[in-house]
Structure 1
């Protein structure tokens, strides 16, 4: 009877190498899925038409037809009071609105939130640009405008012709906003 040779035992270093390799593969796979999930898509012409057809409620109770903002560059920022990056960027958006309004720029905040929460927020952090309340239903508009995951904050820059020229999910920066403004001049 012949004996089958027993393979030599794996060294601890070899086992660690296999585990590290498996871990790296899992990390890369997860990063790839996350990257794909948070990629923005091009908005269709129908989506921009949908945006211009919206009539939103302001915190003061008035109706704001978005078509009234058409014809000049417009930065639309989707946000919520419960979203820390959204809250952080509000003063920067306000500074941008004030700095560029003489050049014809407009900023609009669309809150995916409840009216009372937005009113309370604005008493503590007032802004000079109009705010509209779109509630949870606003997620349909966010997705149509090219943000399939519905992540916030989400900004869309439209030129004077009403066409989308820039999209961003995540908080904007002052320098980024200045670059966007310079690109449209």
Structure 2
């Protein structure tokens, strides 16, 4: 009996490692091949920007809310990131969640002088298109071919984000 159970336990780490490797491979394949949804953002001035029109550029799409403490905390670093990489072709769209009041979003954008596109998701359609985003902040990095290459839920580690952006912008 002891011999049989020791064989069973000796296979468990191998099976676990295989399952883990398959999960990682599946995640990497999925994130590198998932196209960004075709959506049209409407900025605070009523201008339309589509994901289709942004192809050929590296794009960050940040879902946020004025009532989200982490969103407010990370926003200065998002501004710094955009300012650091915009000259290399980075585009940035900050999408205010459906439940966020438009006047709060306008006030936040103006008082903090946000330098990138700020869009309202009044109907919640954009959040749904990006995989039903409900947690804020959630940020997507989209490569030049329009594929989602990274999704951050919560505040990203900005050093890692910058490395990823540098790699993608250079490519």
Normalising to structure 2: TM-score of the pair?
A: 0.71
CA distance in 2, matches of 1:143, 1:69: 19
CA distance in 2, matches of 1:170, 1:46: 20
Most deviating of 81-90 and 58-67:
58-67
Partner of 2:12: none
1:56 partnered with 2:41: yes
Task: Deviation per CA, 1:139-162: give whole Å up to 9, x if none.
Answer: 313425xx5xx2110011111000
Partner of 1:131: 118
1:104 partnered with 2:89: yes
CA distance in 2, matches of 1:96, 1:46: 24
Per the alignment, do residues 83 and 91 of structure 1 end up closer, same or farther by CA in structure 2, a change over 3 Å counting? same
Partner of 1:14: none
Partner of 1:85: 70
CA distance in 1, matches of 2:47, 2:153: 28
Is the 1:47–1:141 contact (alpha carbons within 8 Å) kept by the matching residues of 2? no
Is the 2:31–2:150 contact (alpha carbons within 8 Å) kept by the matching residues of 1? no
Which SS does the other structure have where 1:155 is aligned?
strand
Whichever of the two has the greater Rg, that structure is: 1
Is the 2:41–2:50 contact (alpha carbons within 8 Å) kept by the matching residues of 1? yes
Task: Deviation per CA, 1:99-146: give whole Å up to 9, x if none.
Answer: 1112111111111123212101112212111111113514313425xx
Unpaired runs of at least 5, structure 1: 1-39
Partner of 2:161: 177
